[in-house]
Amino acid sequence: MGKIHDTKPIRSHTGEVWRTNSSNKKRLAVDFYNKCGYCGDHDIYSGGYNVYHVEHFAPKEKFGELEFTYDNLLYSCPYCNIAKSNKWIGKTSKEAVVGNKGFVDPCTDEYDIHLGRDIDGKIIYKTSLGQYIHEELKLYLKRHEILFNLEKIRMKRKALKEKIEFREKNNQDYKDLEIIYKDLSAVFCDYYELIIDESPVHTF
């Protein structure tokens, strides 16, 4: 069983550093490797950096004083951000979980206790709190599994390209790799077109 993130996002700042969304967002995109904190979807599959949101873990509608506090911010896809909205179970900003309900900061190791991925890349829950988060953030959406696998293909394709270039530079035969590269590219393009043709409000 895998984790939602191959590399866990780590916030590089703490406290209130910048007092604008755009300044915080630039840094968040780097800290989160351009992937949504909750579901791990890369922003290239959903319209890129401009379409992604600055998500407030403790909602700014309830805790306005945390609007620009970096520790409370996440880089998020529109699906997770809209699904979470201003949901918050506790009475204070520190009270993220009450009983088996609430949210866990995806930058913590605790996130992986409650949520993970199955062998196919589908997001699954492991605890009842994980089940609450899974349902509230709609982490069951098929798109998360598809985008995770698509990203894996993209990374493999990139690594293969580097190998081909290395062999080419060293006058080694690379035809066998080139055939695999072309096959991978065809699969990637088919899926990529499928994803970017979709409207941002669909729910597959």
By three-state DSSP, how is residue 98 classified? strand
Comparison of 10 and 190: residue with beta carbon closer to Zn ion = 10
Q: What are phi and psi of 189, to 5 degrees?
A: -65, -40
Q: Segment near Zn ion (CB under 5 A), from 6-14, 31-39, 62-70, 101-109?
A: 31-39
State the number of binding residues for Zn ion (CB under 5 A).
5
Each residue 94-133 as x (binds Zn ion by CB under 5 A) or -, in order, gives ----------------------------------------
Nearer to Zn ion by C-beta: 58 or 77? 77
Alpha helices (runs of H) in 99-141, residue ranges in sequence order: 110-114, 128-136
Only one of the segments 23-31, 33-41, 63-71, 151-159 lies at the binding site for Zn ion (rule: CB under 5 A); that segment is 33-41
Minimum Å distance from CB 79 to Zn ion? 5
The rounded Cα 41 to chain-centroid distance in angstroms is 4
Residue 36 engages Zn ion in binding (rule: CB under 5 A): yes
Query: In the complex with Zn ion, which residue's Cβ is closer, 60 or 138?
Result: 138
181 phi and psi, to 5 degrees? -60, -45
Q: What are the tokens at 14?
A: 């703490």
Closest to 58 (Cα-Cα) out of 99, 90, 33? 90
Give the integer Cα–Cα distance in Å for 145 and 166: 32
Secondary structure (3-state) at 149: helix
Is there binding between residue 52 and Zn ion (CB under 5 A)? no
Q: Is 77 in the site for Zn ion (CB under 5 A)?
A: yes
* Separation between Cα atoms, residue 96 and residue 58, nearest integer Å: 8
| Residue 99 region by backbone torsions, left for phi larger than 0, else alpha for psi between -120 and 50, else beta | left
Task: Assess 80 for contact with Zn ion (CB under 5 A).
Answer: yes
* Binding residues among 151-190 for Zn ion as defined by CB under 5 A: none
Is residue 39 within the footprint of Zn ion (CB under 5 A)?
A: yes
Q: Is 141 in the site for Zn ion (CB under 5 A)?
A: no
Distance CA(196)–CA(193), nearest Å, equals 5
Judged by CB under 5 A, does residue 38 bind Zn ion? yes
- Cβ nearer to Zn ion, comparing 111 with 174: 111
Of 38 and 174, CB closest to Zn ion: 38
**Interacting residues with Zn ion (CB under 5 A):** 36, 38-39, 77, 80
